[in-house]
């Protein structure tokens, strides 16, 4: 896998540094940043292996196959068998040399509980080799070890598998229990540190406990009770010692054609580069990719979150494009890391618009370099619009100028 590999003919013009190649065997420190826009889908979906083989979704690099909330209780048995069939078909393509491990997106299975995890592991057997790992819903101090003990056991058998806990229970969102719960969760995650790929935040469940749902033209950070909980999760789990990569909350809307407010995407950058065709593309970007989604990803980044669960293939590209590092960020990070020996305390940035402080900005610079390796670095004067507009024009989604 490699981000934006579908657009090779234009990548040199867009990228200062190309994204790296990765697969499920990439070292965990980098792989944790590689999920990007992780496509969430119910386990009842048939033909997944054929879709990957035919590159139905060319931007797809990671997917989460759900046996929990996306599957009704009466559908569970059928979903279980469909999941096993899909994974065996993936394994068959590998065995026959039709696909390689480099061709596979990162594949995760979201199970309901530790007991179901054991059932899936037993049913899959050696077919687990196609998986990157499992997702653990409603992760907490009562079930956390039971999940991870099974992951450790499978790795000891020779599989390379990770766990991704989702924090979404009332113990995390209810304020009087939150800190004790998060501190207990942190201790479990530290114990199994090498097997934790990524920590997810389940804001849909959080909102559901209070009868709240964000609007299409808002972000999860506008929901104050959830914003405060996210802040506490970051505070506990994103500290320098035993820092965990935390992903942004799921985005649940498809389009924004009924928006009430003016878009925050300015017209000028689109019209200056592409003229009328740029304005038409901008309108389609707002409607198809959802303005609120892009604003939420910006806020995720500002708060130190990396990656996002999404529920529609059209959202993969904008999420991943927003995680590409800008040339300015890259030069700042490189400058900070190059001067981290203590000889220089502060220095004006190459862009002459800020001061880089070597010690306070050191860990920020490290994270930028992780993103730079994974998603690449834009050329000067390029940004996420470059990838989105190029793709819109390449697929004739806007009128010829």
Cα gap 22→30, rounded to integer Å: 9
Residue 116 has pLDDT above 60, yes or no: yes
Give the pLDDT band of residue 288 (cuts 50, 70, 90). low
In this predicted structure, the answer to whether residue 108 has a pLDDT above a threshold of 80 is yes
pLDDT of residue 398 exceeding 50: no
- Grade residue 216 by pLDDT with cuts at 50, 70 and 90: confident
Which positions ≥6 away from 62 have C-beta within 8 Å?
34, 35, 36, 37, 38, 39, 105, 106, 107, 108, 132
How many angstroms from the chain centroid is the CA of residue 93? 26
Q: Which pTM value belongs to this model? A: 0.91
How remote is the C-alpha of 155 from its chain's centroid? Answer: 24
Query: What is the mean predicted confidence (pLDDT) over 276-295?
Result: 68
pLDDT at 201 over 50: yes
Lowest mean pLDDT, pick from 282-286, 316-320, 351-355, 382-386: 282-286
The mean pLDDT value for 5-23 works out to 88
Confidence of residue 379 (pLDDT cuts 50, 70, 90): very high
Q: Are 14 and 386 in contact (CB under 8 A)?
A: yes
Range 21-35 burial, b when 16+ CB lie within 10 A, else e: ebbbebeeeebbbbb
Coil vs helix vs strand at 196: strand
Residue 218: pLDDT band with limits 50, 70, 90: confident
User: 34 and 27 in contact (C-beta within 8 Å)?
Assistant: no
337-341: average pLDDT: 91
Question: Which CATH superfamily hosts domain 5-254+290-311?
Answer: Phosphoenolpyruvate-binding domains (3.20.20.60)
Task: Read off the pLDDT of residues 122-158 as tens digits, 9 standing for 90 and up.
Answer: 999 999 999 999 999 999 999 999 999 999 999 999 9
Distance CA 346, CA 212 (A): 45
Could you tell me the sign of the dihedral formed by the alpha carbons of 27, 61, 265, 330, in that order?
Answer: positive
Whether 401 has a pLDDT exceeding 50, the answer reads: no
Share of the chain above pLDDT 70, in %: 88
Q: Are 285 and 355 in contact (CB under 8 A)?
A: no
Which pLDDT band, with edges at 50, 70 and 90, does 384 fall under?
A: confident
Tell me the average pLDDT across 239-243.
86
User: Chain centroid to CA 369: how far?
Assistant: 17
Q: What share of the chain is helix, strand, coil (3-state, %, to 5)?
A: 50, 10, 35
Q: Which of 246, 266, 242, 120 is nearest to 172 (CA)?
A: 246
pLDDT in tens, 33-65: 999 999 999 999 999 999 999 999 989 999 999
- Determine the average pLDDT of the residues in 287-293: 68
* 371, 263 Cβ separation under 8 angstroms: no
Looking at residue 96, what is its pLDDT? Answer: 96
φ, ψ of residue 99 in degrees (nearest 5):
-125, 155
| Model pLDDT, residue 266 | 58
Contact between 320 and 289 (Cβ < 8 Å): no
What is the reported pLDDT for 400?
40
How does residue 358 score in pLDDT terms, banded at 50, 70 and 90? very high
SS3 category, 244: coil
């Amino acid at each position: 896998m490699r981000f934006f590999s579908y657009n090779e003919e234009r990548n040199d013009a867009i990228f200062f540094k190309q994204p790296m190649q990765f697969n499920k065997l990439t070292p965990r420190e980098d792989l944790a940043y590689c999920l990007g826009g992780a496509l969430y889908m119910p386990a009842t979906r048939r033909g997944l292996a054929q879709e990957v083989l035919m590159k139905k979704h060319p931007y797809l690099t990671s997917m989460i196959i759900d046996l929990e909330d996306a599957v009704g209780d009466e559908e569970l048995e059928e979903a279980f068998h469909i999941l096993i069939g899909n994974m065996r078909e993936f394994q068959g393509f590998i065995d026959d040399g039709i696909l390689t491990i480099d061709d596979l997106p990162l594949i995760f299975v979201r199970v309901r509980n530790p007991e179901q995890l054991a059932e899936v592991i037993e049913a899959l057997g050696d077919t687990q080799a196609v998986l990157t790992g499992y997702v653990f819903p409603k992760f907490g101090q009562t079930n956390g070890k039971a999940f991870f003990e099974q992951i450790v056991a499978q790795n000891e058998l020779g599989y390379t598998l990770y766990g991704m806990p989702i924090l979404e229970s009332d113990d995390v969102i209810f304020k009087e229990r939150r800190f004790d719960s998060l501190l207990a969760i942190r201790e479990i995650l530290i114990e199994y540190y090498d097997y934790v790929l990524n920590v997810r935040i389940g804001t849909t469940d959080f909102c559901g406990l209070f009868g709240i749902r964000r609007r299409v033209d808002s972000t999860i950070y506008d929901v104050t009770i959830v914003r405060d909980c996210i802040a506490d999760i970051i505070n506990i789990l994103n500290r320098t010692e035993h820092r965990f990569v935390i992903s942004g909350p799921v985005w649940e809307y498809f389009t924004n054609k009924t928006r009430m407010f003016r878009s925050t995407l300015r017209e000028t950058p689109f019209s200056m580069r592409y003229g009328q065709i740029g304005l038409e593309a901008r309108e389609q970007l707002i409607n198809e990719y959802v303005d609120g989604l892009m604003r939420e990803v910006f806020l995720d980044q500002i708060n130190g979150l990396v990656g996002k669960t999404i529920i529609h293939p059209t959202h993969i590209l904008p999420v991943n494009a927003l995680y590409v590092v800008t040339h300015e960020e890259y030069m700042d990070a490189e400058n900070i890391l190059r001067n981290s020996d203590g000889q220089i305390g502060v220095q004006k940035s190459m862009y002459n618009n800020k001061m880089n402080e070597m010690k306070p900005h050191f860990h920020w610079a490290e994270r930028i370099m992780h993103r730079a390796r994974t998603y690449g670095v834009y050329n000067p004067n390029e940004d996420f619009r470059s990838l989105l507009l190029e793709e819109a024009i390449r697929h004739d989604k806007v009128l010829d100028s």
